Each structure stands twice: as structure tokens, then as C-alpha cells.
Structure 1
Amino acid sequence: MSRTAPEIEAKSAETITFRGFVFLTKSKELRTVEGKAVTLRSQSAEVLSVLASRPGEIVSKDALMQAVWPDTFVTEDSLTQCIADIRRALGDDAHVIVETLPKRGYRLNTDPSDAADPNAGTARAKTRFSQRGFILVAVVLVAAAIGAYYGAEIWRAAPVRSSDMPRIAILPFDDMSAGADKGYLSDAVAEGIVTELARSKTYAVIARNSSFRYRGKPVDIRQIGEELGVDYLLEGSQQKAGDRLKVTAQLLNAHDGSHVWANTYNREIGDLFVVQEEIIRTLAARVGQRIERPLPQSDAARVSALSYLLMGSAANKKDFSAAGNELLRQFSLKAIEADPNSQFGYIGLAWSYRFDSVFWHKQENNPDEALKRAAEYADKAILLAPDDANAHQIRAQIHSEAGEIEQAIAQFDQAIALNPSASNILEGSAAPLLFAGRTDEAIDRIEQAKGIDPFYPDWYNWDMGWALYEKNDCGAALTAMRKMSPIPIGAHRMLAGIYACLGNQREAKEALAVFLKDSPGDSISKQRKQWEKNWTAPGPLERWIGHMRIAGLPE
């Protein structure tokens, strides 16, 4: 935590007024300017109290969490839920009163001159609210219109520091292996370091999607540092020859390109995970804080199992089809044969049966049976490796497909705690939150994912479009969708719903026609059957069905 509770000293004012509300700082009560009490959960009231003690100032997430939960371990999800609770109480759908500053924290926008005793300033607050509120709304609307017209980069911003932790990017390690040994372990070392270093909370770690984009490119340390907004870069290489493994690693200062530390490891191949841990401990001791924990289990069988999973995943990614999925399954079975006590093969099988259920329906055209088998393999992986974020991620996906939304959210939260640098897991967790009606939290998750993944993929914009549609901010949703270049065919159904929301029936019909070229059998009844088990929040499904009718989707 970058700041402690004593650093957040309350102001002398007994009340804080904002947008027609009054917060009593001593009793931590929220009221309307007319004096009517507004209900807040106790922890939400505590969060609002901290923000109210520093009106108009940015308060970091770390400072808020330390102030409200000083002796309790909680994830940022607890804070996000409190912020969402406060916004609901204030009717702050536009996030104007409680403002999110991506990667920096939150700010309570108030008029400090309204801080007075509880019974003073009510008339002034009402007058100022009506006048300044109108002006603020007008400014927001004009800015939104300009942004929508020009396709302004509303959501993408330069990386901003979220805490005082040093920021680091792990570059892909060069693979110096020869022949059949080349390729399959090329990312294993670097990916393992990304995951474990992020989990240790020693560094703020950039997501692999952004740091690995520099693969095979000339390395200009300072340029990469500026593009990713980091303080340090770790680069290296690995070479596998038979049962031997050679790993080199060097830590560089991203601001001036100087070397901080370097080392070479010559080991048996079975020591792969131990080498990862030794690199992590050295990095932590050099720049962060000392890490004390047992060395991980590591042997040749375990490394072989990981290699087979990587081979299968690469094959499926290269050919995302029923045939590619079958290759993933066969490699996963080999992984289990190599080491039945490691989680890797079971993770691969869980993904393959999940793909069967959603895309290929190979289990005798029974997607439910395929999803059931996927759940069994995911549970086995978690049993063998309860600290593997990837095992919890696939289980979360399966829960979501099965309509078990609360279980999906819980599994995603566990996966995020185990690997905070996995932007794909953070972003993926937005879907069940949206199904549950927790729209503001979903938007915050997507923003967090973008913050640690400056070169995030286009489908993040697709999900942001969906989230903003759910928020009924369809102008901003359209802007988010237009950031995709080109807009995928599959996204045109979402685009049709957004156009229908905006009242643009012609554009809605045109967008849906593009989607139906690839999915000619879609219909209202199929949409209802597909989504009714997922949308647990009341109302959104019927709103979606209504917009699909406007777009011309047949019954």
C-alpha cells in the first residue's frame, strides 16, 4: 500500500455538499439537501467518508483500501463494489460525482465552499445544483458529441501509475534451441515470471500481450519503457538441448537503458520452475522486496506436461477449428500421460471440451455433456494446483457458459488474485458481471485490463461497447465499437443492438444483415434460449430482444 490511513486526515468541515446531496462527515450519513436519509452500506459509507475528507483530490485505490480495510486482506473488487454502491445511491450513472481516474484512483467532485454546519446552505446548494448541474451536463453532452463524431480515443490513454510499486515488463525470451527442441518452451520461462511476479505484489507487471509484441524486433530500451510506461525491463533467452536447459536473464533500467542485474542458469530441464523462482526472487530483492516461500515442485515429467499443453494450445490457436481442437485434446492427453499429477493436461482438456460445447458440439451434438466433462477436468486441475490462475479461469468460463453467474464471478476473482497481470482474465470477468447487472464494475474491470495492457486487442473495445450498451450509454457504446478496425462480422449483432438503442433503425437493419450472412439461422427464439440462463439481472434480456426486433431479427 502506498499510503496509510493516518495520511488521509479529515477536513475540518462537518458537511460536504455535492449535486443535491449532503454528507455528514462525523456521523458518516448521506442525505439529500431536503434532509432525507440515503441508505449506504457501512463499508460504502466508510469509502465515501475517505473521499469526502479530500474533496476534489485524487485518492488512490491503495489509500482507500488501507483506510477502510487496514487489517483485512481484500481484493480491489470490494472497493469497486463500494464505489458502485455510492454511485447508485447518488444516481451518478455518468460518474460525474465520483470520478474514476484510470490507474490513479477516485475523486469526489464537490464544492468545498458548501462545507458548513448540517443545516446551512441548503438553498444555496439547490440553486447551485440547478445552475452548475445544467452547465456540467451541457459540457458533458457537447464533449460526448464531439468524441463520437471524431471517434475520439475516450478509453485508451497512456499508461498511468496506479501505485508506488515499480512497473516492469517481461519481454519474450529468445529461443536458442535447435531442431525439435525449438519453439515450444520459448515463452514458458517468461510467462511463468510474469505470473509469479505479479502475484507477489512486488512489481506492477504489464500484461504479456503488450510486452510480447516486441518479439523479434530491435530492442530500444528507452522507447519500450516510454510506450509501456514502465521502470524496468527483463529480457533473456533460453536454450533446451536434450535434458539440459540454459537460461540467461538481465534486468534493465527502462529510463536510461543501464544494466541492473544479469545472470545465467545452466540446469537440468526438470529445474525449469526452480529457475523461474530464482529469477523472481532476485528481481524482488534487487528492486522490490524480499520474497520468502518454498521452492516450487519441478521435475522433468512436469516440464514435459507443460510442453505438451503448449504444443496443443499453439496448434489450436493456429487452426481454430474442430480439427485444431482435436489436436489440443490429443496433446493434453499426452501431458496427462507424462505427468498425471500436474494440472497442465487437465487444463487443456477442460478448454477442449469447453470449445466443443460452445463451437463444435462434437459430443454427439450434446453441448451440455461436453460442458459437463469440461467442468470435471477443470475441477481436477484446481484440485492438483489450487494456485494456478489458468485453472480457475477455465472453470470460471465453464460456470458462465452453464449460467452459474455468481460462481463464475467468484472463480474469476480467484484467478485475478492469483495473476493480477493477466489482462485477458480481468477483461473476461466483465461478462458475468454484466449478466448480473453489475455494469459499473464490469466497465472498471475492462479499464483495469487496458491499463496493464497498453496494446490491448480489439475485442476489448467490443466488450466495452457491450458494457456501455448495458449502461444505456449507447452513443459511447457506438464510439467504442468503431475503434475496432475492421469491426468483425460477429460484432455486427452487438452493433445492430446499439443502433436500435439510438433509434437508428436503418443502420440497425444493415448491421444485422452483415451478421446474418455468417449466421443465417439466428432468430428471436434462439436468442432468448441462448441468453435466458445467463442474464440473471431483471430487464436486460427483454431490452435486448426488443432491440433485435427493431433491427429485424426474425421470430
Structure 2
Amino acid sequence: MTQSPVHNGAEQIRLGGTCYIWQDGQLLDADGRTVPLRAKSLRMLEVLLSERGRIVSKDRLSELVWPDVIATDESIARCIADIRKALGDIVHKAVETFPKQGYRLNVEMRGQSIPTPTGRTGLLILAVSCAVILLGINLWFSDTRVGAPDTQIAFPAADLQKSVAILPFTADAEQDRLLAGGLSDDLEIRLSEISGIRIVSQVQTQAMAARLDSLIELSQVLTARYLIGGSVRSKGGDVAVSLQLINGSDGATIWADRFEGPRENLLAYRQKLPEALVKAMHVTLEPRDLQRLAREGTTVPAAFEDVMHARRELSLFTYQGSLAAEKYLRRALERDPDYARAYAELAAAFAIRFENSWVVLSGADTEKALYFAQKALELDAELWLAHYALGRLHSVIPSGDIDVALNHLRTAMSLQPANDDARIYYATLTTMAGRPEAALPQFESVMATHPVPPFWYYIGYSNTLLHLRRYDEAEEAALTCVNQMPNSPYCLRALVALYGRLGRQDDADWTMVEYAALGYELTIAAMMKSALERDPSMYAFLEESYRLAGVE
């Protein structure tokens, strides 16, 4: 049997910008506190650590973690889920799934076989060591020539010259990490509303930033002309925020700025950031861009932070995350009853619930969701997100109208031509209305020009290819979706249907185990509740695909 990687010693585990300590069969955080894990999950983590960087099969995991019995796929999947939760591995990049092969742990180890110091002093030494590692990560932003190659990067197309990737903002304290995430999310939202700029999704950026050491290499992989880095630090009752705009072709800092002062003054600073950044990028602002930038959204700092917290919760794509997001958004509206974006985000959150059958009282939830979207438009008639939310709602609520949905999406596209989200959802609904051949060119146009399409773009694209019977291409799109967001039920449902059509039962079984391990009901009735197909023949085709895969 494989032995523990370290005995009577300790190792530091680096996962992106986070540091853990592995000591005597226990997982500790950077402060030396035990990270709770069940015994079998701890043993599985120990095995994966000893084989890090290599794929470990399910049979091998069963042999090493359950030596006296044969473990079920569900038991293995549950331990994997526990480890991912403990490591904060939302996008499944630390513990990576390889269908029909196994799992691979992707972490860096430092200080291998360190003699373990004892007591609080020993833990302090390990924590300081982790802090030194993280300091090196933070210095990434101050060293403008990290890993610079000898040659310039050639960017592939003129329309990508203004593509931007927002790097994970760094912070130490928990409250600073939440604020850092909120600021980067807000900056992504506001920059995406500016004509002529394309934003690389933060999910993609964070995943690649954890793997690559060079800013220039990261820029090349993401096809991003510019990178934005930032850090947040609390200093007594004040907060310090540092930002940099980095040229992806040579790693040089083009623009830098710093805010230091009371948290309540941060909103005024945040208001001027997009305009300062686009000026540094030499982007020409259209009249509508100037109007959007002039709108403050809210003047209540706490309401702004609540909306940013809500967006983080929604990004988890879980029912609990959805409930937490609703709590934050309602609190934001208590603080500022005229906050249009908070209403629009609430409407979008309810649309996601309907898409995943997370609603309890369908009629009441429908009424609330439509009210939130209409209220957002009453407060800001040109808020594209409100029209986008209405488009999604009318595609999923029982009383929805597909033509109304498409009209709202057209309005969202006219209000925000540079944002591809509405365009992709419009193409998705075009397919579901029974016109996949008309939707395909729309998908191909967006996918060809978007710097790095986010995972959910591939869902609609895969479904369109499925209904066109182009199964191999549909599988490629669905697998790309799963690789980007392994915990997305949408991606896994698409694969189940595809493997049913392809007659690949082993692949279908593996995918269904992953789907069930996320807590979703694996029945025809439950899966068809999430179907967007409005054309009867397409609905029947999807249902038959699930049955061919073995769903009952």
C-alpha cells in the first residue's frame, strides 16, 4: 500500500494564492487550524498527494482507501467532493476529473519533509513560511518583467486588441478577500458594458493564473491584450486598494493607481475606475458608454458590497448559493430601495432557480421574479441586465412566452452590443424554439470572436449541435464546458444526452455518477424539468436521449 507522503513532518500545499499545511495525516490552513475532513476523505487526500500530478484510477483509490471492501462510485465521488470543498476548489481545477480514467491532484508542494516544530511556535513558523510564498505571488504585480520572453506576443485578430482579463485581486484578511472579489466582479461588470472592450471571464482567468507563472504567458493563453491586477488591505479602520493595468505583450505596467482611506469613500473611487482604465487603453467612448459610466448605481457602500457578495454566491451554481444571494440582494435593497441593479440581479437569480427546478412555489416565485425585473426597468429603463433577466425568465417560467423572451434579448443586445451574453442566450432560445440551423451561425460568430468563451456558452452550442445530429462536435463542446465548470449540472446533462445517442454506456454511467454526486436527482422527470426545448419534437428527442443513456 502507498505510504503517507510525509511522516513526523510537514509539507506546505500551495493552491493558486492559498496555502495549506499537511502534517501527520491532517490538513491545516495557513494559520495552523485543522480543516475538517472525514477519515476516508483525509485518506483519499493523502493518496492523491502522494500521486500528485498523476491520474489515479477509481480502482486504485478504492484499493488504497477501502482496502477490505470494494468502494462504490458514489463513495469515491463523495470523498472527492469533500476534498474540493475543503480546498475551496469551486471550478474543480485542484482535483481534476478525467472521465473513464480517474482523478488528478494539481497542487504545488513546498518544504517537503520539513521537521515538524512543536507547539504554537511551530505552527507560527509554518504560517509565516506560507505567508512568504503568498508574498511572492503578490509581488507578481509589482514586478513588471516577470518571465518576459525574448520575442513579442502576436495577437491573432484586430478585434481582440481591446480584450481584457481581470486577475484575482489579492488580500490577506477574510473581509478583505470578500471586498477584493467584489471589486474585481464590479470592475468586470462595468467594463463589459463599454463598447469596444471584451472581457475574458474571471473563471477562466483564475484557473489559468493558478497554473502559469508568467504574466505574458497568461496573456497569450487567454488572448488578452491587457491584464488588470489589484490588491486590497485593511489598515486600522481604513482600506488600501492598489490597481495596475498591465500590457500583456511585454508585462509592462501601463497605468497604476492607489486608494487609501475610509471604506465609505471607496464607492467614489470605484466610480472613476472604468473611465481611467479605458483612457489608459486608448478606447474611444461612445455617447452611451459615457451615460452608463455616469450612472452611480448606488451611493450606499454597504448596498454595493451586498450585491458583490450576492454575485459570488450565485457563481457557485448551487441552491444554497442562490438562497444566500437572495438574502444579500434583499438586504442591499433595504439599504438602497432605488438600486436598479440589485433588482435586476434578483430577477436573474430567480431565472437560474427556474432553470434548475429549485423553485418551491412556482406561481409565487414567477410573480416575484417578474416584479424584480420590471422594478429594475422602472428605475433604469436602459439597464440591459434587466432586459436580459426578463429574456431568461420568459424562457423558463410556466407562463413564459418565447417571443417575449426573444424581444427582451434583442433589446438587451441593442443596449449593450459589446456584451455577448444576451447574444448567446438569444441563439440558445432560437434553437429551443425549433430552429437550430438558424442558431448555429450565431453561436459560431460569437465563439470565433470571443477571447475565451465562458462555460455556459458551450452548453447552448452543444445542445444546438446535438439537435443537428452533429454528435462528435457536440461532445467536444460539452467536454469543454465540463472542463471549465465541472460542477455545472447543465454541462453534465448535455453529456448524458450525447452519450445516450452515441451508445457509449460506460461514459454515460460515469457522467451520471458525477451528476448525482452533486446532489441532483437522476430521473427523467427531474432532468426534463430543466429542458428549455419548446418544440415538441425536440423535447421528445431530448427525453429519448436520456432514456438511451439509462436514465429512468
Question: After TM superposition, is the score higher than 0.5?
Answer: yes
SS in 1 for 2:178: coil
The question of 1:303 aligning with 2:305 is answered no
Conserved? CA contact 1:272–1:298, under 8 Å = no
Deviation at residue 374 of structure 1 after TM alignment = 1.2
**2:166 equivalent in structure 1:** 170
Deviation at residue 469 of structure 1 after TM alignment = 1.0
Q: Which digits, 9 at most, give the CA deviation of each residue in 1:391-421, with x for residues without a partner?
A: 3333222111024223323333444555567
Conserved? CA contact 1:250–1:263, under 8 Å = yes
Give 1:94-243 correspondences, 5 Å limit.
Answer: 160-161=156-157, 163=159, 165-175=161-171, 180=175, 182-213=176-207, 220-239=214-233
Question: In 1, distance between residues paired with 2:508 and 2:184?
Answer: 47
Q: Which digits, 9 at most, give the CA deviation of each residue in 1:313-366, with x for residues without a partner?
A: 434556923x5443333222211111111124424543454455455656xx42
The question of 1:498 aligning with 2:506 is answered no
Conserved? CA contact 2:409–2:426, under 8 Å = yes
The 1:440/1:234 distance shift into structure 2, 3 A limit, reads: farther
Give 1:398-413 correspondences, 5 Å limit.
Answer: 398-402=393-397, 403-413=400-410
Amino acid at match of 2:224: V
Bigger CA radius of gyration: 1
Give 1:225-374 correspondences, 5 Å limit.
Answer: 225-239=219-233, 246-266=240-260, 269=263, 272=266, 274-291=268-285, 293=290, 296-298=294-296, 301-315=299-313, 320-321=318-319, 323-354=320-351, 357=354, 359=356, 365-374=360-369
Conserved? CA contact 2:303–2:335, under 8 Å = yes
The question of 1:385 aligning with 2:385 is answered no
Decide which of 516, 519, 522 is 2:521's aligned counterpart: 519
Give 1:424-439 correspondences, 5 Å limit.
Answer: 427-439=424-436
The 1:514/1:541 distance shift into structure 2, 3 A limit, reads: same
The 1:501/1:333 distance shift into structure 2, 3 A limit, reads: closer
Q: Which digits, 9 at most, give the CA deviation of each residue in 1:286-326, with x for residues without a partner?
A: 442454636635497533112112234434556923x5443
Question: In 1, distance between residues paired with 2:488 and 2:324?
Answer: 26
SS in 2 for 1:264: strand
Question: In 2, distance between residues paired with 1:511 and 1:333?
Answer: 39
What count of residue pairs does the alignment treat as equivalent? 386
Question: In 2, distance between residues paired with 1:164 and 1:313?
Answer: 27
Q: Which digits, 9 at most, give the CA deviation of each residue in 1:145-171, with x for residues without a partner?
A: xxxxxxxxxxxxx98425275333232
Q: Which has the higher contact order (CA 8 A, sep 6+)?
A: 2
Deviation at residue 467 of structure 1 after TM alignment = 1.4
Amino acid at match of 1:263: D
The 1:315/1:537 distance shift into structure 2, 3 A limit, reads: closer
Q: Which digits, 9 at most, give the CA deviation of each residue in 1:441-463, with x for residues without a partner?
A: 54455452575353743x55444
Amino acid at match of 2:436: T
Identity %, equivalent residues: 19
Question: In 2, distance between residues paired with 1:477 and 1:194?
Answer: 29
Amino acid at match of 2:366: L
The question of 1:394 aligning with 2:386 is answered no
The 1:431/1:251 distance shift into structure 2, 3 A limit, reads: same
Question: In 2, distance between residues paired with 1:217 and 1:494?
Answer: 28
**2:42 equivalent in structure 1:** none
The 1:199/1:549 distance shift into structure 2, 3 A limit, reads: closer
TM-score normalised over the length of structure 2: 0.57
Conserved? CA contact 1:199–1:417, under 8 Å = no
Deviation at residue 477 of structure 1 after TM alignment = 2.1
Instruction: Out of 488-497 and 187-196, give the one that drifted further.
Output: 488-497
The 1:378/1:242 distance shift into structure 2, 3 A limit, reads: farther
SS in 2 for 1:340: coil
**1:541 equivalent in structure 2:** 539
Q: Which runs of 5+ in 1 are unaligned?
A: 1-157
